[in-house]
Amino acid sequence: MKLVVVGHGPTGHRLVEALRERDEAGAWQVTVIGEETRPAYDRVALTSYLTADADLACPAHDEGVTLLTGDPVVAVDRERRTVRTASGRRVDYDALVLATGSSPFVPPVQGRDLPGVFVYRTIDDLDAIRAHCRDLATSRPGAGGVVIGGGLLGLEAARALQGLGVDTHVVEVAPWLMPRQLDEGGGAMLRRHIEALGMTVHAGTPVAGLEAGDDGRVARVGLGDGTSVDAGVVVFSAGIRPRDELARGCGLPVGERGGIVVDDTCRTEDPAIWAVGECALVNGQVYGLVAPCFSMAEVVADQLLAVAAGLDSPARFEGADLSTKLKLMGVDVASFGDPFAGPDQGALDVTYTDPVGGVYKKLVVSDDARTLIGGVLVGDASAYPTLRAYVGAELPGSPEQALFGGTEAAGGDLPGATQICNCNNVTADAIRCAIREQGLTDLGEVKACTRAGATCGSCVPLVKKILDAELTAAGVEVSKALCEHFDYSRAELFDIVRVRGITTFTELISEHGRGRGCDICKPVVASILASLGNGHILDGEQAALQDTNDHFLANLQKNGTYSVVPRIPGGEISPDKLIVIGEVARDFGLYTKITGGQRIDLFGARVEQLPHIWKRLVDAGFESGHAYGKALRTVKSCVGSTWCRYGVQDSVGMAIKLELRYRGLRAPHKLKAAVSGCSRECAEAQGKDFGVIATDKGWNLYVCGNGGMRPRHADLLATDLDDEGLVRLIDRFLMFYIRTADRLQRTASWLESLDGGLDYLREVIIEDRLGICAELEEAMERHVGSYSDEWRDTLEDPDKLSRFVSFVNAPDVPDPSIAFEPEREQIKPVLVTGPRLEVASR
């Protein structure tokens, strides 16, 4: 039998893939006809094509599929059961599936056809946008861009424009961003994040029209409030319209607002024709997300197999969970269940807002606060996989616990019917059965077998939990793979890099990994390379691996500015240096604050100001305090025996000695330390990653303390150490931690994870049970001998300095979106309030 699939986007590709997987008898000969010249590619990751030149191609079909590209179908003859393409080709069918997708909606505003106006839908669109922006950089330097539409794709388009060096505005007609997924609070928090990145948001504002400049290209966008925005490039991303013209042309019913009418089997009025994806109207709704579109493809694949066998299939499309999680411009955003349910549905809201931290969380629960109905997460979506799995079920704890991670149950605890992967409709039981029956032992095998986590990837952490729980129950050692690109833990990768002398991420992944890497493994490898003294972190390929803070050698703040923290070892500073800091803060208009770690933090620096600030500080004898890095931050101290009547040792001198020794030391997580001059503990050494307390006979060393969300008192490792013995033991401790800890693992949780805990640590670094103490000491000596200040090195390198501009195409133009207001004789970012927790019905 002959099947023709019209359209080769992700949904059409998934349909063919599902059918070929299940059609073991080869009942169907498949022909796919695509409009674009290239085969199917991943539209979800479209922006990465611009920002990272990513290869988005979907896996090629097998030899049993005939693929025709660049020749769109223009007519369907239902009576003869043939389709005709633009080139005149006619293809017969026994079954026809329309997977024509959708087209961007462009509002009928004046000027929408001007040169410089684009839509954001295909790779060809992106190529055209990139070429136009490159031309703007020379023909109209400083010209801005406007994205019309503040939904998912609109914000992706805005991110792409900004990545091309264009000052970007986002215009959304709704009162807040992403109105289909987020409530007002979530939309407001997302707006704050986006504006902090240098974009301007115009919400609750329609577009009045577009105007041309003297060269005939778009130059301004008029808004409904009477204002206008200068723009050299405009991108429309204001929604989609189903591509239903083929159905209209052959007399198939379509919806009043578009969409090919189908039943719950995705079949049209014609029993030989189905429709799937964004062109289909199911139960009065058109779906624009990957998960429901793929669900339709799975249903039709089962229906076609039943037709070939002369049977009825029970497969039905029963709607879809529209939950979604994504990272927009580095900001976690998630929506799950029904986030808009109100009192009429017996629902209560539990919300937490922290504007300073940029976090908004809302759970919608039943009126007895036990059943989860839906929710919104912005700024921190770490709990999304588990929370989404509990939608419709009773929470294992209170809503407050759920908001702050209390529902992070092991994968084995989830009910079997819980849908883990929305994109491919995979339940917890389906994953468990596959693991048990197929003997699966790693995440890649589970994804290949079940497709769970193979599309958007948001459910991967939960899939991993289920896998780990199943393997543990079966007595199988659980994999400690860092991510899907490396089969090794961070500690194992550290040893591979160290032993083999690997100096680049490319070399490591080509020899010991697979793929192109991800947001998990790239920063980890960057940290490993830095820990092993692989040169400046902005040298060559290493620069692209860094997180935002390391990338600019400064801490990014909520309004898009940066803070500068020079190192002040032991908190000791001369009057001359103190005056320099004051002069720098005054001359650059910075907010100044003495930190809890005996340093002075300078807030509010624009990115192009950073090198000028560093120059003044470096010339005065300062260096980077590494406040931006996973590295040693400070060694806090009291004044010790020099001034204090209770002090028994020179705590300031020891703190300075330790801070200068370990400065710039890159680690799995930040490191904090302290030295107290007596047992009165004024430096709070027992709450630090390593802390030193003076005794009459020397020094006591405490390790693995931790403040923050999970405070942990440090453990006493050794007593009455002399200066040399103390330094030697700290050397061993730090290098053993760096070598063996997991990614982003603080020393406190690292110690808890060691088999044998503190006793084992003593055996390794005091008794030398593993015979590696000399090696650990040598590694630290290499670090000390190779240390160089990252600020000074950057100032001496024109290539590194070139990245410190607000706009690539206008390097001398400061970011106009950054604003401050006075408070207590200093500056503060506009719109800062405190966190709050609310429980209320709406």
Give a yes or no: residue 586 inside a domain. no
pLDDT average, residue stretch 641-651: 87
- Residue 416 belongs to a domain: yes
Q: Would 751 be classed as within a structural domain?
A: yes
Q: List beta partners, residue 316.
A: none
Please tell me the distance from the alpha carbon of residue 104 to that of residue 692, in angstroms, as a whole number: 63
| pLDDT classification of 329: cutoffs 50, 70, 90 | low
Q: How confident is the model at residue 51 (pLDDT cuts 50, 70, 90)?
A: low
Contacts of 76 (CB under 8 A, 6+ apart): 82, 83, 84, 96, 246, 247, 249, 250, 273
Which amino acid type is present at position 820? F
Q: How far is CA 483 from the centre of its chain?
A: 14
**In terms of domains, do 7 and 144 share one?**
no
> Which token pair is 648?
């028994």
Provide the token pair at 239: 């929604």
Does some domain include residue 596?
Answer: no
Mean pLDDT of the chain: 85
β-pair partners for 721 = 699
Q: Answer yes or no: pTM beyond 0.75.
A: no
Q: CA-CA distance, 737 to 772, in Å (whole number)?
A: 13
Residue-wise pLDDT tens digits, 715-752:
999 999 999 999 999 999 999 999 998 888 889 889 88
Q: Which of 105, 40, 151 is nearest to 258 (CA)?
A: 105
Question: Both 454 and 359 in a single domain?
Answer: no
Tens of pLDDT along 173-223?
999 999 988 999 999 999 988 888 889 999 999 999 999 998 999 999 999
pLDDT of residue 70: 93
Please tell me the distance from the alpha carbon of residue 457 to that of residue 443, in angstroms, as a whole number: 12
Residue 409 confidence (pLDDT)? 43
Q: Which residue(s) pair with 820 in the sheet?
A: 829
Banded model confidence at residue 558, pLDDT cuts 50, 70, 90? low
For residue 56, name the pLDDT band (cuts at 50, 70, 90).
confident
C-alpha span between 221 and 229 (Å, rounded): 5
Question: 653 in a domain, yes or no?
Answer: yes
Q: How far apart are CA 314 and CA 299, in angstroms?
A: 9
Radius of gyration of the CA atoms of the chain, in A: 30
Question: Residue 806: which pLDDT band, with cuts at 50, 70 and 90?
Answer: low
Distance (Å, rounded) from C-alpha 270 to C-alpha 98? 12
> Are residues 750 and 650 part of one domain?
yes
Q: Is the dihedral of CA 677, 679, 683, 688 positive or negative?
A: positive
Q: How far is CA 63 from CA 24, 94, 193, 444, 697, in A?
A: 14, 20, 47, 25, 79
Question: Is 767 contained in some domain?
Answer: yes
Backbone angles phi, psi at 568, to 5 degrees: -130, 85
- pLDDT for 25 equals 83
**Token duo for residue 552:** 């600019």
Q: How many helices (H) and strands (E) does the chain have?
A: 26, 39
333 and 422 both lie in a single domain: no
How far apart CA 346 and CA 368 sit, in angstroms, is 9
* Structural domains counted in the chain: 6
Q: Alpha-carbon distance 254 to 244, whole Å?
A: 7
> pLDDT confidence of 450, banded at 50, 70, 90?
confident
Domain boundary among 456, 479, 502: 479
> In this structure, is residue 381 part of a structural domain?
yes
Residue 231 within any structural domain of the chain: yes
Q: How confident is the model at residue 406 (pLDDT cuts 50, 70, 90)?
A: very low
pLDDT greater than 90 at residue 15: yes
pLDDT(61) > 90: no
Are 641 and 735 members of one domain? yes
Q: Let me know whether 681 and 740 are in one domain.
A: yes
Closest CA to 628 of 712, 704, 552: 552
Boundary (domain end) residue, out of 209, 238, 267: 238
The residue among 312 and 33 whose pLDDT is bigger is 33
- Give 363-387 pLDDT, tens digit per residue: 999 988 888 899 999 988 877 877 8
Nearest C-alpha neighbor of 722 from the set 700, 689, 690? 700
Structural tokens at position 718? 């050794």
Answer yes or no: is pLDDT of 113 > 70. yes
Domain housing 368 = 321-406+813-842
- How far CA 362 is from CA of 174, 333, 505, in Å, comes to 20, 12, 39
Residues 636, 738, single domain; the answer is yes
DSSP string, 323-344: -EEEEETTEEEEEEE-TT--GG
Are 611 and 799 in contact by the 8 Å Cβ rule? The answer is: no
Report the pLDDT value the prediction gives residue 23, as an integer from 0 to 100.
Answer: 86
Q: Say whether both 26 and 6 belong to one domain.
A: yes
What is the spatial distance between Cα 595 and Cα 275, in angstroms, rounded to a whole number? 61
Q: What is the CATH number of the domain that holds 64?
A: 3.50.50.60
- Determine which of 147-161, 289-303, 558-572, 778-792 has the lowest per-residue pLDDT on average: 558-572
542 compared with 311, residue with greater pLDDT: 311
Distance CA 135, CA 269 (A): 50
Paired tokens of 131: 């070429």
- Is the per-residue pLDDT at 549 higher than 80? no
Q: Is the pLDDT assigned to residue 479 strictly greater than 70?
A: no
Per residue in 386-399, pLDDT tens? 788 788 888 877 78
Q: Which of 214, 238, 262 is a domain's end point?
A: 238
692-705 per-position pLDDT tens digit: 999 999 999 999 99
Above 70 in pLDDT, residue 548?
Answer: no
Q: Mean pLDDT, to the nearest integer, of 117-125?
A: 91
Inter-axis angle of helices 123-139 and 152-163, nearest 10: 40
Closest CA to 603 of 592, 618, 617: 592
475 or 434, which is more confident?
A: 434
Q: What are the tens digits of pLDDT across the range 418-446?
A: 677 767 778 888 898 988 888 887 777 88
* Residues 220 and 233 occupy one common structural domain: yes
- For residue 147, pLDDT over 70 is answered with yes
Q: CA 460 to CA 462: how far, in whole Å?
A: 5
φ and ψ of 170, to 5 deg? -115, 125
Together in a domain, 62 and 130: no
Residues 415 and 532 in one domain: no
Cα separation, 121 vs 225, whole angstroms:
28
**823 vs 651 pLDDT, higher one:** 651
Please name the residue that has the structure tokens 């803060």: 585
| C-alpha–C-alpha distance, residues 796 and 743, integer Å | 32
Report yes or no: 27 and 305 within 8 Å, Cβ to Cβ: yes
What share of the chain has pLDDT > 70, as a percent? 90
- Residue 675: which CATH number? 3.30.413.10
Residue type, 541: E
Cα atoms found within 13 Å of the Cα of residue 636, Cβ hemisphere only: 23
Cα gap 557→257, rounded to integer Å: 44
Q: Of 574, 578, 575, nearest to 586 (Cα)?
A: 578
Q: Compute the C-alpha angle 752/753/759, nearest 5°.
A: 65
**Amino acid 833: pLDDT:** 42
The CATH number for 423's domain is 1.10.10.1100
- Ramachandran area for residue 719 (φ above 0: left; ψ -120 to 50: alpha; else beta): beta
First to last CA, the chain: 56
Task: For residues 346 and 391, state if they share a domain.
Answer: yes
Amino acid residing at 811:
P
Residue recorded with tokens 């900004």: 162
